[in-house]
Amino acid sequence: MPNIGATGFILIILVALLLFGPSKLPELGRAFGRTLREFKNGAKEILEDDSDRKEVQKADTARLDTGKPEYRTAENAPTAQPAAAAQTAPSSDKRLPE
């Protein structure tokens, strides 16, 4: 990546001043600053999502290694089934008389 010194930076500002004029230069600076801020926030969100995903994978791997269930939220917890629903009716091969 090229290293821009003080003279290069001043030269870039002078060229921008000549191209856009003194009234448009502050607006362009603000727009450029907003763009950089949004890019930075977007990159931070992607990195946070990636780190969260890695933590979940580690927790799942640890759960699989121990064989014990790990519930992170109430939505993932098992629900109690009624006793009637847990038992199935015995199957029979007997036919009813016609």
* Dihedral of alpha carbons 16, 18, 22, 23, sign: negative
What does the alpha-carbon distance between residue 16 and residue 20 come to, in Å, rounded to a whole number? Answer: 6
Over 60: is that where the pLDDT of 77 sits? no
Total-model pTM: 0.41
pLDDT tens by residue, 55-72: 777 777 776 666 555 556
Nearest to 25 by CA among 16, 12, 33, 15: 16
| Cα–Cα distance for residue pair 38/23, rounded to 1 Å | 24
- Percent of residues, the chain, with pLDDT higher than 90: 15
Please report which confidence band the pLDDT of residue 84 belongs to, taking 50, 70 and 90 as the band edges.
low
